[in-house]
Structure 1
């Protein structure tokens, strides 16, 4: 069995690609069972990727001193908060409602479901660190602005980790889920 840990996966494990091979990603938008709800779900994934990228880029701009304290804390509070809140809500919905529906539709989803649920547990820990370090920067803006640069360097590690995690997890999740939806005519 392929290593299923998100940090070492290089894509959806081949044993989980049966339906993906039959329905490659580039055929999804034109597929007759590709519903608006699937496009919306994938749009949410793209939003998460974009928010993670913006947070990382703004942190880099701040560290490089091309963004000032106020602009950085506003950006971090706005985009970092949006990323964390929306990810928590999105994954709670997936775990409680969406994934059980897919699991009932196709037994082949079971192993993938376990992989995705393990990813979600890891994501919760990553988001907790991201939130804690991001909040520390925002607090320092009021308490000790001179310490913000050093904290931002540590936060940058979390921003990079979040972006990489989301890139792998969301792509693998889509590659597993969308072919099942298309094959079983779900969510139409």
Structure 2
């Protein structure tokens, strides 16, 4: 049986890449002696993306259900979305340029996994661009006032945002399942990360 590796279709990483996760399951991460400050910070960043993504989704739902007025929505939504997208893009650049090469050099059996994660980053970046375009249309309609075209722009934005967020949540989990066990197994210092 073949498991899809496409971000939108997979339910996790292939078992052959998760041999370190078997030795270092998630429930043991917080108490592990090799969970250093860099890894803790990185996990906090991931949780921050999850939280901000949910907050944006909730705010959009509130607007679409008329629980937040249009005048208030734009001022709440636009800066949060800009922060979310720019920090996510920067985070992925750092991983691709600095951390993934280190991990691939020390654990050759996981190179294909890191290449998959880099491919996710490319796809997510494309989706960020799509979200930006849709958000600009949506916020432009919002600034124009009235309801003409606003509902459709909100619905269009919601669709592309959902695609970005659902893929991102899958990606964050998979990235953690590959990276954290490797760090716990080798240690931040021995990997040259601290």
Q: CA deviation at 1:149?
A: 2.3
Corresponding residue for residue 135 of structure 2: 134
| 2:161 equivalent among 159, 162, 182 | 159
Q: Give the count of matched residue pairs.
A: 188
Unaligned runs of 5+ in 2: none
**Per-residue deviation at 1:2?**
3.0
Provide structure 1 residue ranges, at least 5 long, that are not aligned to the other structure: none
Deviation of 1:59 after TM superposition, in Å, equals 1.1
TM alignment of 1:27-38, pairs within 5 A: 27-38=28-39
1:157 Cα offset (Å): 1.0
Q: Could you tell me how far apart the structure 1 residues matched to 2:151 and 2:3 are?
A: 40
Map 1:41-80 onto structure 2 (within 5 A).
41-80=42-81
Shift of residue 132 of structure 1? 0.8
Question: Residues 136 and 145 of structure 1: is their aligned pair in 2 closer, same or farther, counting only changes over 3 Å?
Answer: farther
Once residues 126 and 33 of structure 1 are traced to their aligned partners in structure 2, the CA distance between those partners, rounded to angstroms, is: 35
Distance between the aligned counterparts of 1:71 and 1:119, measured in 2? Answer: 34
Q: How far, CA to CA, are the matches of 1:97 and 1:104 in structure 2? A: 12
Q: Distance in 2 between matches of 1:105 and 1:141?
A: 50
Q: Decide which of 171, 174, 177 is 1:172's aligned counterpart.
A: 174
Verify the 8 A CA contact 1:55 1:159 in the aligned structure 2: no
Q: TM-score, normalised by structure 1?
A: 0.94
Secondary structure at 1:9 match in 2: coil
CA distance in 1, matches of 2:130, 2:57: 15
Aligned-pair RMSD on alpha carbons? 1.3
Report the TM-score when normalising by structure 2: 0.92
Q: Cα offset for 1:168?
A: 0.5
Once residues 178 and 124 of structure 1 are traced to their aligned partners in structure 2, the CA distance between those partners, rounded to angstroms, is: 23
Task: For 1:112 and 1:23, locate their aligned partners in 2 and report how far apart those are by CA, in whole Å.
Answer: 17
Deviation, 1:49, is: 0.9
